[in-house]
Amino acid sequence: MSQVQARFFTENKKYLIDDVPFSIPAASEVTDLSGVINKLLEAKNDGHKHVEFDFLVQGQFLRTSLASRMETENISTEEVVEIEYVEKFTAPQPEECVMHDDWISSVEADSEWILTGSYDKTARIWSMEGKAVMTVAGHTDVNLYNGLSSLLLTASLDQTIMLWEWNSERNKVKARHCCRGHAGSVDTVAVDPTRTKFCSGSWDKMLKIWSAVPTEEEDEIEEPNRPRKKQKTEQMGLTRTPLMTFSGHNEAVSSVLWMDAEELCSASWDHTIRLWDAETGGQKNTITGSKVFNCISYSPLCRRLASGSTDRHVRLWDPRSKDGSLVLLSLTSHNGWVTAVRWSPSHEHQLVSGSLDNVVKLWDTRSCKAPLYDLAAHEDKVMCVDWTENGLILSGGADNKLYTYRYSACVLDAGA
Amino acid sequence: MRPTHSGTMSKLKNKKRNLEENEDEQLPIFDKDGGKDGHLDDGDEDQGDLSDSEESVFSGLEESGSDSDDEEEEEEDGSEEKSSDVEEDKAADGDGDDQLSAKEVIEPQTDGQHSKEKKKKKKAAGKEGGEESVASDRDSGLQISSQVDEYEHDTSDEEDIRNTVGNIPMEWYKDYPHIGYDLEGKKIFKPIRNKDELDEFLDKMENPDYWRTVQDKMTGADIRLSDEQVDLVHRLQQGKFGDVNFNEYEPAIDFFSNEVMIHPVTNRPQDKRSFIPSLIEKEKVGKLVHAIKMGWIKPHRPKETTPQYYDLWAKEDPNSILGRHKMHIPAPKMKLPGHEESYNPPPEYLMSEEERLAWEQQDPEYRKLSFLPQKLACLRAVPAYSRFIHERFERCLDLYLCPRQRKMRVNVNPEDLIPKLPKPKDLQPFPTTQSLVYRGHSSLVRSISISPSGQWLVSGSDDCTVRFWEVSTARCLKTVEVGGAVKGVAWNPNLSICLVAVSYDDTVVLLNPGLGDRLVCTATDQLISSYEEPEEVKDQPVQWAVAEGEGHEQGHRLILKHPKAVRQVTWHGKGDYLACVIPDNGSSLQVVIHQVSKRRTQNPFRKNKGLVQCVSFHPIRPYFFVATQRYVRVYNLIKQELTKKLMANCKWISSMAIHPGGDNVICGSYDCRLAWFDLDLSTKPYKVLRQHKKALRSVAYHRHYPLFVSGSDDGNVIVCHGMVYNDLLQNPLIVPVKVLKGHTITHDLGVLDVTFHPTQPWVFSSGADGTVRLFT
């Protein structure tokens, strides 16, 4: 078996070649195939620059020689092999390294600003260039989570969530509301797509939905020692009470997210991922795993849930499947707990994961055996990762550093 | 042989002797010569011979008694004298009575002197008569013996001119110039001796043989002793036998014993009483006859007919598999000789040169043939078979070593003997890998405890700090300094109270870490501050104090001062009672139970029953477990009595854990063992696991999962599956599932404490390397 009949195709119009089968050596690897395509393209149009390509055989990236791949996949050598080729993803380029005073517990970014929460009880706003813009201090305990653009949410171990209003021109932050109600540390918050509500998950096993719209009046709560609280609200903003409370988890809620405006998804230490109806508060589905879930992420592009748990796997789930506990794929390369996962907002196959083994890994679900890239910049535990729409990957960890990477390939590949 | 025989024999002879001379009966002459005895033994018909021989002896005696010439000649001829002396020696050697003969033989050296003295003292006789007679007796005895020898050698006595005065003390002739008379009655003159003291001295100085020169008393002549004689004298002086060749330790044969011989040793006629019936026996028989007649004795008692033999195979079941007849294995048969053993084998049986070489090089054991086939011209040329004996021996070995019984071998697969344990893979979940390391302590971490919610971990270390950690991130949230190396920490298991008991030195501090629900924390503080002193204050062994100032800021709430160092603190499940161990072998105050809400302390035990190692409350029922060095005692707290005493079978218990069901206890010990007790089963361990290489420091049960864990000085944490079934008939299933490594051994200490996460199958271990590790 020295020669195989192969037909190359791509969805990228830029690199289209003639739809004819070629006879190529079976022992050829990715670089060889890439050379073949480049030669063909050069022959087709003169102005072609050399492009590295990656090849997919039956939806999986080719990492070994074609022959061994065909052997493992049981592809007959008699037939013409269909090989898809895409432009090779270039490695994420490190951009900034932002030092913090303490461990970074969470990170979130939009196209302009980066918001980080830290163990020094503050949340910080940074510009994309890594300049500290604003420090939001108000919590009495470790800061955990955040959200929104001009409205910021910070959740803390002190069992409260603060809603802040940030005026970026004047660079001023005002605490608008202090959301009280949780009986444990608040570990996660998520804002719904309409930006009118947000949901929080706490160590007290509860999910609570709060209004995200700042109002001028305080929610009615029965405080036994009102005068004292009154003073506090001057600083801390008005006290807000939850709109709804979802109980059902048997253990701490570690991660929560909105799948769409009506559907909530929460992961917990009780080894389950639950889907909730945000309107009625009923449980819609339960996915049961075998380990504690640390984090989940949902991609509307591929409609998959990715979860990181206290073993070293990143697992992909189909939240729509009725039989619940079906793992679609396990991505195994980490050596410690997976503490953070985040789907690419623009690419349906790619996700990023951070782990206690100090490494951030970039995955393509089409290559599940090994990650595309290891981002091994951190010197201590990675606690959080984020991926912005404009192709910025952020990761923060216990080494007090926030790293940002520019990952351009996904933008180019977005159309693929 | 000697005593009686000589006795009897000497009687006969002495008669004659007494007739012919006044010889002493004690003379051992007749004992001397074995040859003569043999003659005598021959019987009565030899009487003539006997008399002849005796006559000859006595004739010799007479001669010896009369010979003086002989000695004179001896003076002249040293060699002859020597020979005669030697003969004397020989005669003496034949003697059995050592002492007497020895003395006799000693005499010759002094003989000369004696005789001289005799001559000198001849005239002054009488005074020393007794002594002299003894001496002369001896002399004569000696002479007799010498005469016997002379006779044997048939030495003629005609030229032997000797003193014939007879057996008289020679002192009688002391003052005469002569010493006796010869046959013609002429005087025999003494040799001229006019040596005075000076001559004597000169002689002594000049004559090299002076020391061996003696004077013959009988003749008065000086005799120079030969080398042999000197040698003899030396031997006798040393108490040895005169004869060099004589063996004094010859085995004695006891002829006259109680054994009746077929041939009599002696010729003594039988006693008369051997012919006449015994009166005593007659009387005895008469009595027996009378007793039989009277019916007192039954002469023919019927013998008990007990069978002497029994059927060895009677009990054997003829149908049994192992029956003897079925078991018979015939002896192996010898192989019949084949062509190769023929003297003229067909050529194909003959070995070629290479085959022969190969055969010779082969080990004899592995040879196909034990011999080389040979081709011989005719049968007559067949040589003797050299291996014949060897071959017979091997055949005997074959017969001897061949099996004589069929062995019923039970085929047991060794795999089947191993108890069927489920695979660890099927027993998941259990901790398998190290996930987080909680770094921060600078010294060994003696104790850890986890909050009931599972979110926080507290650790107490020898660096005098207590640290609070966030479990999921290994973040140290709080560090509280205390006044000493922390020996024990325990988080209150009650969810509505937020308190941690910390023991250091002689103090137990109740800390409010301020972690978890704020309402709970404030409620706890309120609970403590709302305490009101009771009206009557009891005398308590422990001082209670409320922390103030800086301590209060750090979280200290209550301080309990104990009389001695506190080793362990443990809470009751409800969270109100706190038990402390104050190990002290001499005191009865080793365990104290505090009630936090009422700030009361009680000492539950009046007596000291050994050094208490650890204590624990039963998770459900009002029992209290106290582990001393070797035993675990279970007390009923309501009835106030001892319920059970568990024997741990180990030397020194280090730690103890109670199964959440309450019916099972595990004990770790310093001698590397972990004992599992089933309280319903026995007071002895149900299972003892020896997996660790060094002392166990800590054991723990999981609250929900069927897991238990042990930490040891070898740095390993071993996780075991320990399933307890609700069914009372089923014993607990114990399967070791995982060895967790991670802690480095520091100062010969490895893992010091282990504890499980309350809800997850995770185990925390604290070590001497100052770290706490989480395994998931």
* SS3 at position B453: coil
Strand partners, B580: B569, B592
Cβ-defined contact of A336 to B428 (cutoff 8 Å): no
Quick one: pLDDT band at residue B56, thresholds 50, 70, 90? very low
Q: Closest Cα of chain A to B579: distance in Å?
A: 29
Within a domain: B588: yes
Degrees, nearest 5: CA angle A66-A69-A70: 85
CA distance A239 to chain B (A): 16
Q: What Å distances lie between residue B612 and A368, A392, B40, B626, CA to CA?
A: 57, 62, 100, 7
The one-letter amino acid code at B100 reads L
The phi-psi region of residue B608 (left if phi > 0; otherwise alpha if psi is between -120 and 50; otherwise beta) is beta
Structural domains of chain A, count: 2
Whole-number pLDDT of residue B60: 39
Residue B443 in any domain: the answer is yes
With 60 as the cut, is the pLDDT of residue A347 above it? yes
| pLDDT at B290 (0 to 100) | 94
Q: How far is A30 from chain B (nearest CA, A)?
A: 36
- Both A176 and A288 in a single domain? yes
| Residue B111 pLDDT greater than 70, yes or no | no
pLDDT-derived band at B36 (thresholds 50, 70, 90) equals very low
Both tokens of B72, joined, read 């004179």
Neighbours of A106 (CB within 10 A): 25
**Is B513 within a domain?**
yes
- In this complex, how many residue pairs, one in chain A and one in chain B, have their CB atoms less than 8 Å apart? 48
Helix, strand or coil, per DSSP, at residue B257: coil
Q: How far apart are CA A368 and CA A293, in angstroms?
A: 20
Does A228 reside within a domain?
Answer: no
Pairwise CA distance, residues B162 & B111, whole Å: 14
Over range A19-47, report the average pLDDT: 78
Q: Token match 């801390």: residue?
A: A236
Q: What is the mean pLDDT of residues A110-131?
A: 79
Three-class SS of B395-408: HHHHHHHCCCCCCC
- Cβ contacts of B453 on chain A, cutoff 8 Å: 184, 203
**Domain extent for A59:** 3-87
| DSSP summary character for residue B339 | G
Q: Is residue B209 part of a domain?
A: no
Q: Are A214 and A194 in contact (CB under 8 A)?
A: no
* A35 and A180 inside one domain: no
- B563 domain residue, yes or no: yes
Crossing angle (nearest 10°) for helices B47-66 and B34-41: 150
**Per-residue model confidence as pLDDT tens digits over A282-303:** 888 888 888 888 888 888 888 8
pLDDT at B427 over 90: no
Same domain, A69 and A181: no
Interchain contact, B435 vs A310, CB within 8 Å: yes
Model pTM score? 0.63
Do A190 and A324 lie in a common domain? yes
Residues A66 and A153 in one domain: no
- Is A158 in contact with B518 (Cβ distance < 8 A)? yes
Closest to B654 in 3D by CA, of B710, B702, B701: B710
Nearest to B435 among A184, A251, A337 (CB): A337
**Would residue A221 count as lying in a domain?**
no
Give Cβ neighbours of residue B290 (< 8 Å, ≥ 6 apart). Answer: none
Instruction: Please report the pLDDT score of residue A391 as a whole number.
Output: 81
The answer to whether the beta carbons of residues B693 and B676 sit under 8 Å apart is no
Residue A187: CB atoms within 10 A of its CB come to 28
Report the greatest alpha carbon distance in chain A: 86
Cβ contacts of A229 on chain B, cutoff 8 Å:
none
Q: CB contact, 8 Å: B496 with chain A?
A: no
Q: Residue B428 and residue A290: Cβ atoms within 8 Å?
A: yes
B476 touches chain A (CB under 8 A): no
Run of H or E residues at A7: strand A3-9
Name chain B contacts of A158, Cβ cutoff 8 Å: 518
Q: Which segment of A353-357, B308-312, B382-386 scores lowest on mean pLDDT?
A: B308-312
Residues of A within 8 A of B473 (CB-CB) are 103, 105, 381, 383, 398
Q: Could you tell me which of B689, B615, B692, B686 has the C-alpha nearest to residue B656?
A: B615
**What residues contact residue B148 under an 8 Å CB cut-off, 6+ apart?**
B29, B32, B33, B57, B60, B91
- Residue B532: CB atoms within 10 A of its CB come to 6
Classified as helix, coil or strand, B341 is helix
> Percent of chain A beyond pLDDT 70?
88
**d(C-alpha B396, C-alpha B390), whole Å:** 10
pLDDT for residue B23 is more than 50: no
d(CA B207, CA A363): 133
Upper half-sphere CA count for residue B505 (Cβ side, 13 Å): 10
Q: How far is residue B184's CA from residue B671's CA, in Å, rounded to a whole number?
A: 117
Give per-residue pLDDT as tens, B466-523.
Answer: 999 988 888 888 888 888 889 899 998 888 888 889 998 888 888 888 887 778 888 8
B760·A292 Cβ contact <8 A: yes
**B607 in a domain, yes or no?**
yes
B475–A103 CB contact, under 8 Å: yes
Question: What element of type H or E holds B630?
Answer: none
Interface contact A184-B436, CB threshold 8 A: no
Q: Give me the pLDDT at residue A300, please.
A: 84
Q: pLDDT at position A218, please?
A: 52
Report CA Rg, chain A.
24
The chain-wide mean pLDDT, for chain A, equals: 78
Do A367 and A401 lie in one domain? The reply is: yes
Together in a domain, A138 and A72: no
Cβ within 8 Å, pair B473-A204: no
CATH number at residue A339: 2.130.10.10
**pLDDT on residue B145:** 44
- Record: contact B518-A159, CB cut-off 8 A: yes
Task: Please determine, for residue A320, whether its predicted confidence score (pLDDT) is greater than 90.
Answer: no
> What is the CB-side half-sphere exposure of residue B301 using CA atoms within 13 A?
8
Which H or E element spans position B89? helix B78-93
Q: What is the Cα–Cα distance from B235 to A309, expressed in whole angstroms? A: 112
Say yes or no: A83 and A97 in one domain. no
In 3D space, the residue among A367, A378, A295, A299 whose CA is nearest the CA of residue A331 turns out to be A367
If one counts every other C-beta atom within 10 angstroms of the C-beta of residue A157, the result is: 24
The answer as to whether A15 is a domain residue is yes
Pick from A220-229, A370-379, B217-226, B727-736: least confident = A220-229
Alpha carbon B675 to its chain centroid, in Å, reads: 37
Instruction: Verify that A69 and A100 share a domain, yes or no.
Output: no
Q: What is the CATH number of the domain that holds B550?
A: 2.130.10.10
What number of residues does chain A have? Answer: 416
Confidence at residue B64, expressed as pLDDT on a 0 to 100 scale:
40
Q: Is B417 helix (H, G, I), strand (E, B) or coil?
A: helix
Q: What is the Cα–Cα distance from B26 to B10, expressed in whole angstroms?
A: 9
CB contact under 8 A, B472 and A294: yes
**Cα B623 to Cα B644: distance, rounded to the nearest angstrom:** 10
pLDDT digits 0-9 by tens, B395-424? 999 888 887 767 777 888 888 888 788 888
Given B475, B519, B759, which is nearest A183 (Cβ)? B519
In a domain, A225, yes or no: no
CA distance B757 to chain A (A): 12
Q: What is the pLDDT of residues B647-687, one digit of tens each?
A: 888 888 999 999 888 888 999 999 888 999 888 888 888 88
Distance CA B501, CA B495 (A): 15
B4: contact with A, CB 8 A cutoff? no
Can you read off the two tokens belonging to residue A128? 């994309």
Q: Are A386 and A145 in contact (CB under 8 A)?
A: no
Query: Measuring CA to CA, which residue among B388, B594, B403 is closest to residue B507?
Result: B594
The secondary structure of residue B263, as a DSSP letter, is S
What is the token pair recorded at B472?
């999921």
Min Cα distance B630 → chain A (Å) is 40
Burial label for B726, CB within 10 Å (0-12, 13-18, 19+), is: exposed
State the residue for tokens 């011209």.
B377
CATH number at residue A30: 3.10.20.90
Q: Using pLDDT thresholds of 50, 70 and 90, give the confidence band for residue A217.
A: low
| B220 lies in some domain | no
CB contact under 8 A, A204 and B517: yes
Residue A78 confidence (pLDDT) above 50: yes
CA atoms of B120 and B127, how far apart (whole Å): 14
Residues A82, A44 share a domain: yes
Bin A9: left if φ > 0, else alpha if -120 < ψ < 50, else beta.
beta
Which of A31, A58, A87 is the last residue in one of the domains? A87
- Total structural domains within chain B: 1
Handedness of CA B432, B438, B439, B444 (dihedral sign): negative
Among B551, B537, B430, which Cα is nearest to B482's? B551
> Please, which pLDDT band fits residue B99 given cuts at 50, 70 and 90?
very low
State the average pLDDT for chain B.
76
Among residues B471, B474, B465, the alpha carbon closest in space to that of B444 is found at B465
Rounded distance between C-alpha atoms, residue A252 and residue A267, angstroms? 9
Which residues from B are below 8 Å from A269, CB to CB? Answer: 454, 759-760
Same domain, A73 and A124: no
Among residues A37, A70, A87, the one where a domain terminates is A87
Best A271, A313, A356 member to test B by mutation, with max B CBs in 10 Å, is A356
Q: Do A184 and B759 touch (CB under 8 A)?
A: no
Q: Is residue B287 predicted with pLDDT exceeding 90?
A: yes
B697 torsion bin: left (phi>0), alpha (psi -120 to 50), beta (else)? alpha
Higher local confidence (pLDDT), A90 or B95? A90
Is there a contact between A259 and A210 (Cβ–Cβ < 8 Å)? no
Per-residue model confidence as pLDDT tens digits over B363-384: 888 888 888 898 999 999 999 9
- Residue B754's pLDDT is what? 92
Spatial distance between the Cα atoms of B499 and A233, rounded to a whole number of angstroms? 30
**Which among B509, B473, B427 is positioned nearest to A142, based on CA atoms?**
B473
Neighbouring CB atoms inside 10 A of B354's CB total 8
Strand A3-9 vs strand A81-87: parallel, antiparallel, or unpaired?
A: parallel
Inter-residue contact A171 to A133 (CB < 8 Å): yes
Q: pLDDT band at A235, cuts 50/70/90?
A: low
The pLDDT value given to residue B152: 54
Distance from CA of A356 to the nearest CA of B (A): 8
Q: Edge to edge, what strands does the sheet with B577-581 contain?
A: B568-571, B577-581, B591-595, B600-602
Beta-carbon separation of B475 and A119 below 8 A: yes
What is the separation, in whole angstroms, between the first and last Cα of chain A? Answer: 32
Output the pLDDT for position A255. 87
Q: Which of B149-163, B554-568, B669-683 has the lowest mean pLDDT?
A: B149-163
Confidence category of residue A19, pLDDT binned at 50, 70, 90 = confident
Residues 6+ apart with CB under 8 A from A279: A262
- Helix, strand, or coil here: B327? helix
What pLDDT does B169 receive?
Answer: 79
Q: What is the mean pLDDT of residues B596-615?
A: 84
Chain B CB contacts of A185 below 8 Å: 455
Same domain, A157 and A202: yes
Edge-first strand listing for the sheet containing B631-636: B612-617, B623-628, B631-636, B641-647
Contact with chain A for residue B435, Cβ under 8 A = yes
Residue B76 lies in a domain: no
User: What residues make up the domain containing B741?
Assistant: 433-531+540-775
